[in-house]
Amino acid sequence: MTDLKDNPGTPLTIEFGQLYCEGCNTTELANRFGTPLFVLSEQHLRNNLREYQRTFEAHWPEGKVRIMPAIKANPTVAVRKILTEEGAGCDVFGPGELECALRGGVPPEMISVNGSIKDRDIIRKAASLGARIVLDSPKELEICNEVGEELNKTVRVMLRLKPYLHHLEEKSDFLPQQEIRELTQTIKYGIPTSELLPMGPRAIELPYVEPVGVHIHMGRHSKKLEVWAQLVESYVQLIKKLSELMGGWIPQEVDFGGGFAAPQDQETRVAVTDYPTPSLEDYARTVTTSFRTAMQQNGLVTDGITIEVEPGRGLHNETMLHLTRVHNIKQETTHIQHRWAEVDTSEVFLGITGVNPSPPFDYVVANKAEQPHNCQFDIVGITCNAEWLYQQVPVPELEEGDIIAMLNTGAYIEPMAANFNALPRPGMVLVNGDQADLIKRHETLDDVFVRHLVPERLK
């Protein structure tokens, strides 16, 4: 359960005993659109984006600030339309996310095509559109030049660096048994430094390539500000080496990646979250101050540099909730005292294992939001797995038809949904005030089986 007073700034309220998202009664949304269902607050998403833009701009007067939300956190065309209206660019991985960005109206010059193993087709498409390529290997640099020659145009590129955090002994929040400095070197993305240093001069001499900037992405390994400061300092040390090798070249676009924790920091994919979460103000001040100071110490000018950040979970996590309906109540009184509420969603729609020691998301019984929590139930999902979404949690007296809202499901949850047990995946609704629109329809069984082919000999 959750007390909405502990979630300031969210679009959720309780009115007349019912849970509302913006001006929409969530129980009515469940009845109108069907469950399970993702519900996204448009205004909360817009406010989050504006806060990122405003906060980083306040701390970086030297140049422009560009917010580049990663498509992967919520690859929904309508969501991208909203972020495009707000002036955001985007980071994409692979041809599918590039297509989402284009359908979402992102100007090509505001798109960064990122990720490992970019083939000639996606590089050609991105270059022909005028998108920027974030290089992950020397091979990609050579392909960019070849494609540029074929198209007779200059391809803008960034170098994705892997700064080594020499003095950092912090363990990762993702994998607490490993150090961040080890993981940032061994995880695949980015150009190994031994390959990067010869690449810099090569990028300068190639006729159809323009190296415009540099890029890093630590990810959600830590929310400790001293870790972010060391990351940025190590980043600048590597920029300095490149500058020396490239005849004084200074990047005009510097991307700090993502990994900023959401304010409530309710996470399904991060093992350690139980320590203070910095504010966005803290992150912006730490990143920009560390960058400015390190650049000055290394004799590099910052005037006119555009800085970029790529909020994923920090932007999206608290913009969405997930609605599920209770379909059955079971009770054991012979051997043990135990009650179950069987709901129509699943761990495979929510990116969790279904064997959780504690609730993975805050929850509210949407149609009984002000009733006392004087009962205990397991809330269990619909597949043949154990599906312990919540184990013996306090709730009001549950009945068939009750609607349970799972909060903090906006980042990396819906795009990870799977079709285990041949289940169709849930739809998504966008709310804006008292208006609600379906922006991703529920899958059908035909959708689930559309890729299946049966050879003639088996028919």
**101 token code pair:** 């960005």
| Whether residues 217 and 347 fall in one domain | no
Strand ranges of the sheet holding 155-160, from the earlier edge strand across to the other edge: 65-67, 306-309, 253-255, 209-215, 155-160, 132-135, 111-114, 90-93
Whether residue 7 has pLDDT greater than 60: no
Whether residue 5 has pLDDT greater than 60: no
**417 token code pair:** 């949904």
Q: Is residue 51 part of a domain?
A: no
| Whether residues 35 and 170 fall in one domain | no
pLDDT in tens, 442-453: 999 999 999 999
| Whether residues 23 and 109 fall in one domain | no
pLDDT in tens, 382-403: 999 999 999 999 999 999 999 9
**Residue 130: how many other CB atoms lie within 10 Å:** 14
Which runs of consecutive H residues, i.e. helices, occur in 130-271?
Answer: 138-151, 180-186, 193-205, 225-245
Contact call for residues 104 and 77 (beta carbons, < 8 A): yes
Helix (H) or strand (E) holding 321, with range, is: strand 320-332
Looking at residue 365, which CATH number applies to its domain?
A: 2.40.37.10
| Whether residues 207 and 324 fall in one domain | no
3-state secondary structure of 457: helix
Given this model, what pLDDT does residue 2 score? Answer: 57
Quote the number of domains for the chain: 2
Given this model, what pLDDT does residue 357 score? Answer: 65
**Which residue in 360, 109, 46 sits closest to 379, CA to CA?**
360
Looking at residue 268, which CATH number applies to its domain?
A: 3.20.20.10
Contact call for residues 380 and 389 (beta carbons, < 8 A): yes
| Whether residues 299 and 280 fall in one domain | yes
Q: Which residues contact 405 (CB under 8 A, 6 or more apart)?
A: 19, 26, 321, 322, 323, 363, 364, 365, 366
Given this model, what pLDDT does residue 4 score? Answer: 64
Listed residues 311, 346, 372: the one ending a domain:
311
| Whether residues 286 and 432 fall in one domain | no
Q: Is residue 207 part of a domain?
A: yes
Whether residue 93 has pLDDT greater than 90: yes
Whether residue 358 has pLDDT greater than 80: no
Q: Given 3-state DSSP classes, what are the helix, strand and coil percentages for the chain, each rounded to the nearest 5?
A: 35, 25, 40
DSSP assignment of 140-156 equals HHHHHHHHHHHHTSPEE
Distances, alpha carbon 134 to alpha carbons 17, 80, 158, 293, 314, in Å: 50, 20, 5, 25, 22
| Whether residues 379 and 300 fall in one domain | no
Whether residue 218 has pLDDT greater than 60: yes
Residues in the chain: 459
Containing structural domain, residue 331: 4-41+318-449
| Whether residues 220 and 263 fall in one domain | yes
Question: How many angstroms separate the CA atoms of 85 and 107, rounded?
Answer: 11
**Residue 79: how many other CB atoms lie within 10 Å:** 26
Question: How many angstroms separate the CA atoms of 418 and 167, rounded?
Answer: 41
Q: Is residue 330 part of a domain?
A: yes
Q: Is residue 48 part of a domain?
A: no
pLDDT in tens, 133-173: 999 999 999 999 999 999 999 999 999 999 999 989 999 99
The chain-wide mean pLDDT, for the chain, equals 95
| Whether residues 214 and 263 fall in one domain | yes
| Whether residues 268 and 333 fall in one domain | no
**Which residue in 318, 277, 317 sits closest to 9, CA to CA?**
318
Listed residues 282, 311, 340: the one ending a domain:
311
DSSP assignment of 250-284 equals --SEEE----PPPSS---SS-S---SPPPPHHHHH
Contact call for residues 263 and 318 (beta carbons, < 8 A): yes
| Whether residues 279 and 390 fall in one domain | no
Q: Which residues contact 19 (CB under 8 A, 6 or more apart)?
A: 12, 13, 25, 26, 27, 364, 366, 367, 369, 405
Q: Is residue 54 part of a domain?
A: no
Contact call for residues 307 and 347 (beta carbons, < 8 A): no
| pLDDT > 90 fraction of the chain, expressed in percent and rounded | 93
pLDDT in tens, 96-138: 999 999 999 999 999 999 998 899 999 999 999 999 999 999 9
Q: Is residue 126 part of a domain?
A: yes
| Whether residues 33 and 98 fall in one domain | no
pLDDT in tens, 50-87: 999 999 999 999 999 999 999 999 999 999 999 999 99
Q: Which residues contact 255 (CB under 8 A, 6 or more apart)?
A: 68, 112, 134, 158, 213, 214, 215, 216, 217, 307, 308, 309, 310
Question: How many angstroms separate the CA atoms of 225 and 288, rounded?
Answer: 12
Whether residue 49 has pLDDT greater than 80: yes
Helix (H) or strand (E) holding 340, with range, is: strand 338-343
Q: Is residue 55 part of a domain?
A: no
Question: How many angstroms separate the CA atoms of 133 and 212, rounded?
Answer: 10
pLDDT in tens, 336-350: 999 999 999 999 999
